[in-house]
Amino acid sequence: MNLTRRATANLLPPIIFGVLFVAGWQLFVRAADISSFVLPAPSDIWSSAVDGHSRIVSAAGHSGLNALVGLLVGAVLGVLLAALAVRVPVLGGTITPLVAALAAMPIVALAPLLNNMYSPLSTLPRREVVAISAFVPIFINVLRGLSRLAPVHRELMQSYAASGTAVLRTIRIPGAMPYFFTGLRIASSLAVIAAVVSEYFGGLADGLGSQITDSVGASDYPAAWAAVIGAVALGLIFYIAALVLERVVVGRRATSPF
Amino acid sequence: MLVLLGVAVLGAIWEGYKAWAPADGVKLFGTRILPRTTDASMPQLSTIWHAFGAPEVGGAITFGPTRSVLDSVITAATHTLRWAAVGFAIGVMVGFLLALLMDRLAIFERALLPYVVLSQTVPLIALAPLVSKWGQGSSIGSFKWHTWMSVAVIAAYLAFFPVAVGMTRGLKSPSAVHSEYFRCAAAGWWKTLIRLKLPAAVPFLVPALRLAAAASVVGSIVAEISVGLDGGIGRLILTYSQQATGDPSRVYAAVIGAAVLGLVAAAIVTVFDLALWRYHRGVGSR
Amino acid sequence: MSDADAGQERSAAVDLTGVHKTFAVRRGSVVALEDINLRIERGEFVSLIGPSGCGKSTLLRVIGDLLPPTSGQVVVNGKPARRARLDQDYGFAFQQAGLLDWRTVQANIELPLELHGVDRAKRKDRALELLELVGLSEFAGQRPPQLSGGMQQRVAIARALAERPALLLMDEPFGALDEMTRERMQNELVRIAGETQAAVVFVTHSIPEAVFLSDRVVVMSPRPGRITEVIPVSLGDRTDDTREAPQFYAAITQVREALRGKPIAATGAVVADIERAQGAL
């Protein structure tokens, strides 16, 4: 009983808000007679999406694959380097500030450089941009998780005369799991964003990013918006996948998505 | 310092790879996974260094005496910084107000928060090419819409969400003990806000501001390309890369400029953070 | 597992001679422990009690080789403290139980055995044995967040006993519990210590707790940390009735007066006083 009331209280307002928003958008566009190059009506976007859905889906597939490959590579690198940074503090002292600096930089700006390094038809540049974008939050979060060692656990391990590796294995790594998943959630969203945006800088044009720029170039704004919605959907899929993975691996200890 | 050592190591890896790796790059199962080592693909570090000093011939700026690439990069970076700063300021204000609104009226929080959270997960920046068309060439009264304002709007768009999320989390952060005390003392919403919630929110706000600053810079750069706005570093990177066939070192110069821009933006936030030292807290608020 | 060599049969569980511990702080240094001399026999239960800053927790950690003494000798189980730690001759129980939330209760108890290479079957048997000892057999598959504070401490104690140590070092393990649970846990601990015949060094703030549990109560005072008094307690077998016996109150009075720095009357005289007071009521 209480659960249903709570669910309604929490789900209803955003749903109502969303419906009102879309309805308001539709009315505003029609009533103010706004031309589609400024803001197309939701109905136009929908029909464009339906018509071009195979095109959007295939583009989403390419962007999604780039995002996935880059995410996996970036995640593995992030975890390995974070573990290394904890185990060898000197290395950690060198790598961590560099990664912090990398976090402040516009990573997608590397796309033109990478495009130059490979053949024009290679998918590698954008996957590398994704990998770097995903690596940063995972490294930072896993490092934070691995660095925590509660004083009581430290003394406990000391009383067991346990080696540094044993401490890493039994306490730091399991304790760092929630942090890893926080990083993964952030990284999965960033991966999609990087995959889409890296196409704005030229190179192979098979993903959602080029769909958007091509549609804008052809002044087909409903199609561009439809591709944007495709990108949004792709981002949501990745994010939800990360949430599900967390729930499966960590179970009751999963943190809230907020 | 270790950081300088790290940078030196990176430089050594770059040159080392160029020296020892096969000229055609490293191939795995027929696809090249590591780049070619020719100078056209990976310029020598010294070439990049010299590129900064080279005169910029046939560049984006065609009037006046030719200037060095370094000058161009600095000028472009400054323009982008200004547009990003405007976007940042707007985004921060809007994010701040939205967080306050959600704190004041629970119904707004329930309605909007899921969207705010979800917005962090979706590539809003994909909208940049579309939003860029808004307002182009239009004017309201005597206020003319310049193209750079579209760039600032996109930057604001990206800056606003981290600030809204960070601020909301921060406003909720005071412990029950503190909140209950303020209720006992019959402090109203405003007083509680100023004296408890805002100071408590500082440790959450600062990382969010740093994120927002980086996001503003990225947003500006991407927006410049989508909007087609000359004068900023995004456009400069694109221009140089179109000219780059034999000598990509200029593109490197411009990208380094963009990277430095990002660092400068983050540094400014950090300075601001230092001014708020009194509100720093000990353990894990990030 | 710790073996007692034939040559160590007669040696004490803990033997401290001239132990000093100084900490360097921002301005100069703090003498945490000054000239500690103490001998604890096998199977003996000794409490360390004193106000904050008297060094009792520091002393416990020096015994356990978690902190090195600045000078003096620490012999545990006939060996230097470091050797005793490496040989796992003692188990340590902390005030926060320090259990690992992601492991089941059983896996938590198995932790030291796992770290020291005991094979899976033997680990499981030992863990189940210990669970029965502390009365938590039905909770083997639960996780620490699902247990109450008292239960978590019981798991921590079971874990401390995993390798059959001759010595238990306990740092205010019941400090975070409410009074009723505390008394129950004290009863449990007395029983467990008796059954395993382990010596126990127990740090506490609570006078009744120290008196109830111990064979001897070591009273310490701060600035610098030192032992002011060692009070023997002879209350026989501890039961719930022990807490209401006049001798119990007499012993508490003795300890309290030692803490205050007053001269201590003989137990008999104190008991007589109490009985007279009870008669007057």
pLDDT digits 0-9 by tens, B93-143 = 999 999 998 888 888 888 888 887 777 666 767 777 676 666 555 555 556
* pLDDT number for residue B228: 75
Of A174, A109, A104, A179, residue with least CA distance to A139 = A179
Those residues whose C-beta lies under 8 Å from the C-beta of residue B277, and which sit 6 or more positions away, are none
Residue A153 parent element (H or E): helix A151-159
Both structure tokens of A87: 């185990």
C-beta separation of A96 from A143 below 8 A: yes
Map tokens 């103490």 to a residue: C38
- A104-118, B65-79, B235-249, C238-252: which range is least confident on average? B235-249
Q: Which residue has the higher pLDDT, B78 or A45?
A: B78
Cα distance between residue B159 and residue B219, in whole Å: 8
- Band of residue A36 on the pLDDT scale cut at 50, 70, 90: low
Report the DSSP pairing between strands C14-24 and C71-76.
antiparallel
Of B192, B193, B170, B152, residue with least CA distance to B280 = B170
**Chosen from C100, C152, C163, C170 to mutate, greatest number of chain A CBs within 10 A:** C100
* pLDDT number for residue C1: 45
- pLDDT surpassing 60 at residue C248: yes
- pLDDT surpassing 80 at residue C2: no
Q: Does B106 touch chain A (CB under 8 A)?
A: no
Cα distance between residue A33 and residue A27, in whole Å: 9
* pLDDT number for residue A112: 81
ipTM computed for the complex? 0.83
> Nearest CA to CA, how far is C254 from chain A (Å)?
33
Both structure tokens of A186: 């952030």
* pLDDT number for residue B252: 81
Tell me the average pLDDT of chain A.
Answer: 85
Three-state DSSP state, C103: coil
- The average pLDDT across A148-152 equals 89
* Inter-chain CB proximity A170 and C114 less than 8 Å: yes
Percent of chain B with pLDDT over 70: 73
Both structure tokens of B9: 């190591």
- pLDDT surpassing 60 at residue B62: no
A142 burial type by CB count under 10 A (0-12 exposed, 13-18 middle, 19+ buried): buried
- The average pLDDT across A169-187 equals 90
C-beta separation of C54 from C221 below 8 A: yes
- Band of residue C6 on the pLDDT scale cut at 50, 70, 90: very low
Q: Tens of pLDDT along C26-56?
A: 888 888 999 999 999 999 999 999 998 888 9
Backbone angles phi, psi at B224, to 5 degrees: -55, -40
Interface of A with B in 61-90 (CB under 8 A): 90
Task: Give the HSE-up count for residue B277: Cα atoms under 13 Å, Cβ half-sphere.
Answer: 3
Q: Which residue has the higher pLDDT, C160 or A17?
A: C160
* Inter-chain CB proximity A105 and B10 less than 8 Å: no
* Inter-chain CB proximity C100 and A171 less than 8 Å: yes
* pLDDT number for residue B69: 75
Cα distance between residue C227 and residue C59, in whole Å: 11
* Buried b or exposed e, range C232-263, using 16+ CB within 10 angstroms: ebebeebeeebbeebbbbbbbbbbebbbeeee
pTM of the model: 0.80
- A113-127, B270-284, C218-232: which range is least confident on average? B270-284
Both structure tokens of C189: 């601990």
Percent of chain A with pLDDT over 90: 24
Q: Tens of pLDDT along C217-239?
A: 999 998 888 999 999 998 888 88
Give residue B216's Cα distance to chain centre: 4
Task: Give the HSE-up count for residue A35: Cα atoms under 13 Å, Cβ half-sphere.
Answer: 6
* Buried b or exposed e, range C30-45, using 16+ CB within 10 angstroms: ebbbbbbebebebbbb
Map tokens 């500082």 to a residue: B202
Q: Does B255 touch chain A (CB under 8 A)?
A: yes
C-alpha angle C105-C107-C109 in degrees, rounded to nearest 5: 70
C-beta separation of A146 from A173 below 8 A: yes
- The average pLDDT across B78-103 equals 91
- B21-35, B257-271, C147-161: which range is least confident on average? B21-35
Q: What is the largest CA-CA distance in chain A?
A: 76
Q: Which residue has the higher pLDDT, B244 or C272?
A: C272
* pLDDT number for residue C76: 92
Cα distance between residue C132 and residue C123, in whole Å: 14
Q: Tens of pLDDT along B225-245?
A: 877 778 888 888 888 777 766
Write out chain C residues lying below 8 Å of A161, CB-based: 85-86, 88
Both structure tokens of A1: 């009983």
- The average pLDDT across A46-55 equals 83
Tell me the average pLDDT of chain B.
Answer: 77
* pLDDT number for residue C10: 60
* pLDDT number for residue C8: 47
Cα distance between residue A194 and residue A207, in whole Å: 12
- pLDDT surpassing 50 at residue A149: yes
Q: Tens of pLDDT along C173-230?
A: 998 888 888 998 999 899 989 888 899 999 999 999 999 999 999 999 988 889 999 9
- pLDDT surpassing 80 at residue B53: no
Those residues whose C-beta lies under 8 Å from the C-beta of residue A224, and which sit 6 or more positions away, are A211, A212, A215, A216, B129, B130
CA nearest to A145 within chain B = B284
> Nearest CA to CA, how far is A55 from chain B (Å)?
17
Task: Output the CA–CA distances (angstroms, integers) from residue C180 to C150, C186, C189, C245, in the order listed.
Answer: 10, 10, 14, 18
Query: Roughly how many angstroms between the first and final C-alpha of chain B, as a whole number?
Result: 26
The identity of residue B16, as a single letter, is: G
Three-state DSSP state, C38: strand
- Cβ-based neighbour number of residue A31 at 10 Å: 8
> Nearest CA to CA, how far is B212 from chain A (Å)?
10
Map tokens 């008796």 to a residue: C194
Q: Which residue has the higher pLDDT, B174 or A6?
A: B174
Q: Which residue has the higher pLDDT, A204 or C84?
A: C84
Strand partners, C229: C219
Interface of B with A in 124-153 (CB under 8 A): 125-130, 133-134
Both structure tokens of B192: 């509680």
Map tokens 């200037």 to a residue: B67
- pLDDT surpassing 90 at residue C66: yes
Residue B33 parent element (H or E): strand B31-34
3-state helix, strand, coil in chain A (%, to 5): 85, 0, 15
**Chosen from B34, B118, B121 to mutate, greatest number of chain A CBs within 10 A:** B121
Q: What is the DSSP string of B31-78?
A: EEEE---STTTS--HHHHHHHHHSB-TT-S--SSS--BHHHHHHHHHH
- The average pLDDT across C8-31 equals 84
* pLDDT number for residue B143: 62
